[in-house]
């Protein structure tokens, strides 16, 4: 199993191992007070509220009066409000996720009607410690777009590889393989991916595909002209 603790590179695995160990061990009963991790960040899909310590004032920074009031109800309300405020400022994606989950649980939103990018994983992993997934729907828009772009770019690369193979042959019937694949990718862009990928991106990819196909036709036309010139037979 592979775990990532962030988008950066370290010189070894010792520090990531310590981070994972610490984040897991603290959840074991008896390691820390149970109430401590119940209010942790991400426990309720929100960031933790600000925590203050002594002294009450330090270099112009003061502990909020409400925390010194002794009114536990007001303190609890303040903590919830600050937790939501901090999450909106630093991790708005968590708020969006929380609203989506709550709306779905209340029946306001149907899972089947959620917009997103749906795919069917190949499940060809040879390992036994992974879960087989038959259908996956990605709801986060930025992630959906990123996955869809990578998928389209992979298909364009395969089209280029197919073109290189066909250019090594003289059979005109192979040309249809290239043209059909190009049309298939363009169809995906105009139908399946229309709600995921932006219009500008789709137009640019279609323009690129048209350019590739045009260059391919020009090269094939040159090959056929050479064949006709050598053999005198029209293809």
Each residue's pLDDT, cut to its tens digit, for the chain (235 residues) gives: 778 888 899 999 999 999 999 988 988 888 888 767 666 777 667 888 888 888 999 998 899 999 999 899 999 999 889 988 888 888 887 777 666 556 555 555 554 555 555 666 665 656 666 666 666 666 566 667 777 888 888 899 999 998 888 888 777 777 888 889 999 899 888 887 777 788 888 889 999 999 998 888 888 776 666 555 555 555 4
Contact 83, 48 (CB under 8 A): yes
The pLDDT assigned to 126 comes to: 60
Q: Which of 85, 91, 95 is nearest to 49 (CA)?
A: 85
* 3-class state of residue 89 by DSSP: helix
The pLDDT assigned to 20 comes to: 93
Tokens encoding 170: 């003289």
CB neighbours (10 Å) of residue 213?
19
DSSP state of 29: B
The pLDDT assigned to 14 comes to: 94
The pLDDT assigned to 111 comes to: 47
DSSP, residue by residue, 27-74? TSBTTB-HHHHHTSTTTTSSPPPP---SSSEETTEE--GGGGS--HHH
CB neighbours (10 Å) of residue 144?
21
Q: Which of 199, 182, 181 is nearest to 190 (CA)?
A: 199
The pLDDT assigned to 202 comes to: 87
Tokens encoding 189: 């862009």
Helix, strand, coil % (nearest 5) of the chain?
Answer: 60, 5, 35
Give residues with Cβ within 8 angstroms of 195, minimum separation 6. 115
The pLDDT assigned to 31 comes to: 87
């Amino acid at each position: 199993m592979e775990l990532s603790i962030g988008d950066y590179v370290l010189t070894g695995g010792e520090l990531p191992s310590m981070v994972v160990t610490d984040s897991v061990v603290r959840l074991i009963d008896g390691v820390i007070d149970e109430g401590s991790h119940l209010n942790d960040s991400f426990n309720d899909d929100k960031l933790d509220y600000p925590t203050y310590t002594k002294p009450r004032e330090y270099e112009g920074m003061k502990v909020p009066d409400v925390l010194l009031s002794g009114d536990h109800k007001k303190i609890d309300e303040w903590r919830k409000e600050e937790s939501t405020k901090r999450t909106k400022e630093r991790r708005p994606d968590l708020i969006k996720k929380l609203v989506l989950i709550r709306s779905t649980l209340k029946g306001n939103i149907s899972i089947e009607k959620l917009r997103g990018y749906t795919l069917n994983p190949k499940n060809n992993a040879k390992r036994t410690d992974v879960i087989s997934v038959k259908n996956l729907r990605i709801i986060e828009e930025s992630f959906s777009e990123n996955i869809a772009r990578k998928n389209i770019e992979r298909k364009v690369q395969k089209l280029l590889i197919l073109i290189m193979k066909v250019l090594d042959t003289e059979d005109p019937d192979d040309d249809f393989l290239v043209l059909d694949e190009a049309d298939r990718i363009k169809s995906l862009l105009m139908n399946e991916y229309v709600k995921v990928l932006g219009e500008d991106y789709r137009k640019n990819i279609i323009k690129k595909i048209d350019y590739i196909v045009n260059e391919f036709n020009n090269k094939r036309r040159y090959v056929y002209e050479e064949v006709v010139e050598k053999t005198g037979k029209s293809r």
